Structure formats: structure tokens, C-alpha cells
Structure 1
Amino acid sequence: MNGDRPRLPEAPAEGPTAELIAVRRGGRLSALDRLLLHSPPVAEGWNALLGALRSATTLPADLRELVVLRVAVLNDAAFEWAAHEPIGRDAGLTDLHLRVLRRPDAAGEPVWTPVQAAVLAFTDASTRAVAVPDAVFAAVRDLLDVRQVVELTALVAGYAMVSRFLVALQVPPPAGGVAG
């Protein structure tokens, strides 16, 4: 790791793509955004996808943040964890939940509701092995409707993409939590 700088320089925060991202972000651009701005078409697609995953799904906020934080742990994405920990807390995750999320067998711990445990098992399977075993899928399917299963699957995949980008470019954690 380079310390406090990513492997590539940040692009200038200017132009229509930067403005579009800033609208979703409430006026601030993160280091992640400024790296994406080197490719405006990729940055625009990323912004649309992550905006939808963050604010246009029917998944409850606690489930959404469980997924994001678990993917961050599994892929060792410190930026993603730092950015989403405060959001997870706002969604109702406790200190205990956040500690347990860092454990290898988090889904099996007794701190979760049945739907949280099923979502974590799905996230673990999809992130670790890509293929989701039938029993893990069935547990999620029993607790979520079809739309939510699609949204969950896209959320896990989307934040796997985010974490891989952050880790490959060695983007350091943000100060103050600007989320992806």
C-alpha cells in the first residue's frame, strides 16, 4: 500500500460527469470518484449503478449495509468499510454487529435475525466462491421476494466490483466516511 495515496493520480473534479456524481454525493467527490473520472463513461455508469443500489432498491437499509460491510471485510477493502461503517450504524447496526461482521463465520453467529443471517450467508457464498449453493439460495428466497433477491444479488456483485477497484488501486480509507 502506498500509504495515503492511491496508485494513480486523481482526475480533476470538473466537467459534466463530475457534476453528475457530485449531485448524488451531496456536493462532495471521494478519491474513488476522482479516480473513476479518468474514464467519464465508466464513471457515469458506475454512478448510475451504485446510485440505484444505494437508494432505489426495496432492501431494508440494515440488509444493504450488512452486504456492503461484509464484502468489504471479505475483500479487505478498508476504504469501503470506513465509508460504510457510519451508514451501517445509521441503519441500526450495533458495535456487536460490526465486530461480528469481521469474523470468518459471521453468518452463523447468534446476533442476526433470520433474514440477516440468510443475507450474510448468501453474501459470503457469492463473494468467496461466486456460486451460491442451493440451500443458501433457498434460505434467501424464503425470506425475500423476487425483486429483493435480484437486488441482493446485484448489490453483492456491485460492491464486489467496488472493493476490487479500491483494492487494486490501493485507495486509502476516507477521512469522515464518503461512501461508494
Structure 2
Amino acid sequence: MSDQPRIAPLPEGDCPPGVAGVVAALGPLNIFTTLGKNAELFDAWVGFGGHLLASKTICPRIRELIILRVAARTGCDYERVHHERIGRENGVTEAEIEALGRNLRDYAWDPGEWPVLAAVDELHTTSTISDGTWARLAGVLDEKAIIEVLMLIGQYTMLAFALNAMKVQPESS
């Protein structure tokens, strides 16, 4: 099976206005120049995704733990490569990054982080959250934060599926 992208990214100079603005601000990342081939959908997605990344409802470290676990569960190299760097910037250690790719029980997670990581795994396994995990989430997060955690897991799972299917390649270092 080829690793070549199934949809080639737009050349930087050919980006529609909304895509061009994001590329100017954040760089010509393959995620933007590929998804930007559907400009209307891109505009909606970047607003939602941007809100989740900028939100203060959950701390950036928790957000990055979630994204990295989703990347591991979905085998999404693009998410993993980008969010390992962002995770490090937000306090995720090398040992934790490595542990997120294995059985979660093999690492001594902080009790406040464990329910969030368990939620990622349960959603990926059963498409829901057990009563026990829900109770543990409610013990560490308020309802607003739980909603955001669930939407963040869903957003990055959806994105991973699309990136994997299109074979969007991580940028070269």
C-alpha cells in the first residue's frame, strides 16, 4: 500500500482566502492545504478546532494528553507528530508520550488525568462511557469540562480518520 497522499495539498499560492489566512498565521501545514481543498468545510472545521485548542475550560496539558491518546488509538502519525511537540510545550513528558502509545495501566497516571484517558479508550472501544468512568470524570471535572473533553475526543478521532484515509503526511523536520 502506497504512503503517497491520496489528495495532494494545495500549493501555498493557490489557497482560498480562509485557508490562506490560516496558512499565513500558522504555516503551510499539509493538514490545512489538504483540508483547504474544501474551503467551506475548512472554514467551519478550523473555527471549531481552533475553539477547542484555545479554550480554557480544560488545561492545555489534559488537552494534549487526550489528543496524543487519540492519535495512538487511531494510528494517526500526523496528529502524533504535531502534538508530541505541542504536548512537550504543555508539560507532557517523554515518558508520558511513550506511555500514551501503550496500555494505559502500565504507567502511574495522575489520578486527575486517569479518568480522561480512560474516557478516550472507552469511547474508542465501546462508543460510550461506563457509569464508573463517568463518575470518575465527574469527580475531577465539571459538566462544562466533561462536554468539552467528549467533543475534543470526537473532533480528534474524526480528524484522525480523515487524515489517515487521505494519507496526509507529516511535514519534514
* Counterpart for residue 10 of structure 1: 9
Please state how far the C-alpha of 1:75 moved relative to its aligned partner. 0.4
Distance in structure 1 (CA, Å) of the matches to 2:130 and 2:46: 31
Given the two structures, how large is their TM-score scaled by the length of structure 1? 0.88
- Residue 163 of structure 2 aligns to a residue whose secondary structure is helix
Q: What corresponds to 1:160 in structure 2?
A: 157
Match of 1:19 in 2: 20
**Can you give the 5+ residue segments of structure 2 that lack an aligned partner in the other structure?**
none
Q: Deviations over 1:47-78 (max 9, x none)?
A: 00110111124111110000000000000001
Residue 161 of structure 1 aligns to a residue in which SS?
A: helix
User: How far does the alpha carbon of each residue in 1:126-151 deviate from its partner, in whole angstroms, 9 at most, with x for none?
Assistant: 12221111111111111001111011
TM-score between the two structures when normalised by the length of structure 2: 0.92
Aligned residue pairs: how many? Answer: 171
1:39 paired with 2:43, answer no
After superposition, residues 86-165 of structure 1 pair within 5 angstroms as: 86-103=85-102, 105-106=103-104, 108-165=105-162
- Could you tell me how far apart the structure 1 residues matched to 2:52 and 2:118 are? 19
The CA deviation at 1:30 is: 1.2
- Give the conservation status (yes or no) of the 8 Å contact 1:62–1:88: yes
Runs (5+) with no aligned partner, structure 1? none
Q: Whole-Å Cα distance in 2 between the matches of residues 101 and 110 of structure 1?
A: 9
Contact 2:73 2:124 in 1 (8 A): yes
Contact 1:127 1:156 survives alignment (8 Å) = no
Is this contact kept in 1: 2:30–2:170, CA < 8 A? no
Cα distance per residue 1:146-172 (max 9 Å; x no partner) = 111011011000000110011111112
Alignment root-mean-square deviation, CA: 1.5
In 2: Cα distance, 1:100 partner to 1:140 partner: 21
Q: Distance in 1 between matches of 2:151 and 2:136?
A: 17
Farther-moved stretch of structure 1 (72-81 vs 89-98): 89-98
